[in-house]
Amino acid sequence: MKTPLIVVPTYNELENIRKLIPILLDLPVKPDVLVVDDNSPDGTGDAVLEFESTGRVHLLSRPVKAGLGQAYIAGFGWALERDELDPVVQMDADFSHKPEKVVELIDALEEYDLAIGSRYCSGVNVVNWPLSRLLLSWFANKYTKLITGLPLEDATGGFKAFRREALAKLDLSGIKSDGYSFQIEVTYKLFNAGCSVKEVPIIFVDRHAGTSKMTKSIVWEAVWMVWHLRFPWLF
């Protein structure tokens, strides 16, 4: 019998990770949890090791802060090296993604290869964002849909579940993007590889504790990445 794996990237998420891990371990799907920590100076990695005795919590430490996308790439590679792990879920550590929705995403994989927790497939379901950021996110998704042709309302969301066989179709070494653009690139490449995608409605609540990792460079990377994906021969 396969074991689901939840991959959680962290950088200075000490308060959140101590609360999140017990909730994830208690989910009815009985997942393992892999925390990919970028050498957090607040001791996040040490907090993860407090759960090591469960046999279901794993820490993948990276020496420096190297970006969200590459943290997920490292986590995906770790998962694919272990045949017993299937499916693979990615989620934030800050409670923006409700842990109980993991079960619904995994259930969607009975019929689909990739399930995305979507903030926009049933209206606009975002809590605690300023209007400027909400509009940026909403227009970014409309822009992405227009340029790439992805039939999705939320291509930039970071709450996803993958069938193992779908995840294995990705050339992980060829993915260099981060942030919004990482989410778009992974979904676009899987969709073009013939994977079926399901959007599962979620309510996104802005982070519980800590500070946001969003930067202007992440936004601009996404602006240009969609053109690279759709028209690679131009670059």
Give the separation between CA 152 and CA 138, rounded to whole angstroms: 12
- 3-class SS at 133? helix
pLDDT above 90 coverage of the chain, percent: 70
Give the separation between CA 222 and CA 178, rounded to whole angstroms: 8
Inform me whether the pLDDT recorded for 29 exceeds 60. yes
> Which is more confident, 143 or 104?
104
**Residue 158's pLDDT is what?**
94
pLDDT above 70 coverage of the chain, percent: 91
pTM for this structure?
A: 0.90
- 3-class SS at 100? coil
Architecture of domain 3-234: Alpha-Beta Complex (3.90)
When the pLDDT of each residue in the chain is averaged and rounded to a whole number, the result is 90
What phi, psi does 31 have (nearest 5°)? -80, 160
pLDDT band at 125 (very low <50, low <70, confident <90, very high): confident
Report pLDDT digits (tens) over 30-55.
Answer: 999 999 999 999 999 999 999 999 99
